[in-house]
Amino acid sequence: MNKPEKTPEFDVAGPAPRHQTTQVMVGHVAVGGGAPIVVQSMTNTDTADVESTVAQVAALTRAGSELVRITVDREEAAAAVPHIRDGLRKRGINTPLIGDFHYIGHKLLAEYPACAEALDKYRINPGNVGFKNKRDTQFADIIEIANKNNKPVRIGANWGSLDQELLTKLMEENASSPNPRDARAVTREAMVQSALMSAARAIELGMPKDRIILSAKVSAVQDLIAVYQDLASRSDYAIHLGLTEAGMGSKGIVASSAALGILLQQGIGDTIRISLTPEPGGDRTKEVQVAQELLQTMGFRTFVPLVAACPGCGRTTSTTFQELARSIQEFIRDEMPNWKTKYPGVETLNVAVMGCIVNGPGESKHANIGISLPGTGEAPAAPVFVDGKKFRTLRGPTIAEEFKALVIDYIDQRYGSGAKKPSETVSAAE
């Protein structure tokens, strides 16, 4: 009789080691050099409207954005920047502000020194900082002002505004090559060269490497992955990740998550932005939430307690579990800004809201606190599990309210000041 084959051993999967980059301080936030991957976002208000911009930066900060970029496109916007900074400080918000400059950044920074001083970083696009013989001069002007104010810069090449002279040169060289590459590959090379050459020029102008962040944004997932892999392999500058013009709704979320997820798994990326097109009048903070969920889902950072919920099937014709899962998840996210200081470590909490007996009890036992709601045809009882043990069974029309109260009580007992171990505060019941 043949002996059964030995069960193969498998390595535990995990991300590649982080690509080692030079750390850059943006205000009080560390980017690169092994620091946690930073979440950032961008306002879509008119920067000249101080009140609206302050309100949106505050909302993005509350949602968890650690850096916020604002458009500085004209004189009125540049004049508003120090007032925006001061308005935020009055609210107790010290989130670093990044100025987004195109075409006339050199002029605005020179003519509005208070703007140059108030910003924590300048974003420069080498494709439109200047054209022909003015390009080097205007780029140098911005770097000189950044050096004078001890500000870092992000040199951000972009597919939609690529240096056309560089691209034309590379295309001509490629056409005469015995083994020409396809046009997209040449364009990707132009992106990488544009970023690296601009960074080298900034260093020639006296800017230290620890004040330079690079990015190379495109709108196609496979191109983005290839560009950033190449950029990381050829430099140790801190890297900002983002899929530009990702789109609206699920399309933008899926595209950004697919591209950035692969790069993060490969150890590439020090700060990220999810560039979502909001619904008309929609909430700008959605892109912050998606960025946080991407990093937390992949195990890189922990921001908010996780709520596990089943997708539903023919056994869960009631909407109770869906409503409760949504209620708990929204409640947690709304309360997190306060809980961060009141309940240290609460972001590691796991909550389960399950819809029937098939996986409900098992999933609930794996969570810190979980509930298994009755499915179609099941007895109208909902067992609650705390730290793997059955704690109580809820019945009646107030199950949702009672479970939410138990979650709050659990958080207070476990993470509050003078917290006891859960085993000391919860006893098995029924």
Which residue has tokens 């970023």?
A: 195
Task: Please state the rounded mean pLDDT for residues 348-369.
Answer: 86
pLDDT of residue 99 exceeding 70: yes
**Stretch among 91-100, 169-178, 221-230 having the lowest mean pLDDT:** 169-178
Q: Which helix (H) or strand (E) holds 363?
A: helix 360-366
pLDDT bin (cut points 50, 70, 90) of residue 32 is very high
pLDDT of residue 12 exceeding 70: no
Q: Which residue has the higher pLDDT, 2 or 362?
A: 362
* Distance between CA atoms of residues 54 and 48, nearest Å: 11
**Stretch among 114-123, 161-170, 315-324 having the lowest mean pLDDT:** 315-324
pLDDT bin (cut points 50, 70, 90) of residue 11 is low
Output the pLDDT for position 131: 67
414: left (phi over 0), alpha (psi -120 to 50) or beta: alpha
Task: Please state the rounded mean pLDDT for residues 38-61.
Answer: 97
Output the pLDDT for position 423: 46
pLDDT bin (cut points 50, 70, 90) of residue 82 is very high
Output the pLDDT for position 42: 96
Residues in the chain: 430
**Stretch among 16-20, 34-38, 151-155, 418-422 having the lowest mean pLDDT:** 418-422
Per-residue pLDDT tens digits for 379-422: 888 899 999 999 999 998 888 889 989 999 999 999 987 555 54
CA distances (Å), origin 378, targets 30, 168, 375, 430? 53, 69, 5, 18
What does pLDDT average to over the chain? 89
Q: Which residue has the higher pLDDT, 329 or 108?
A: 108
* Distance between CA atoms of residues 213 and 96, nearest Å: 15
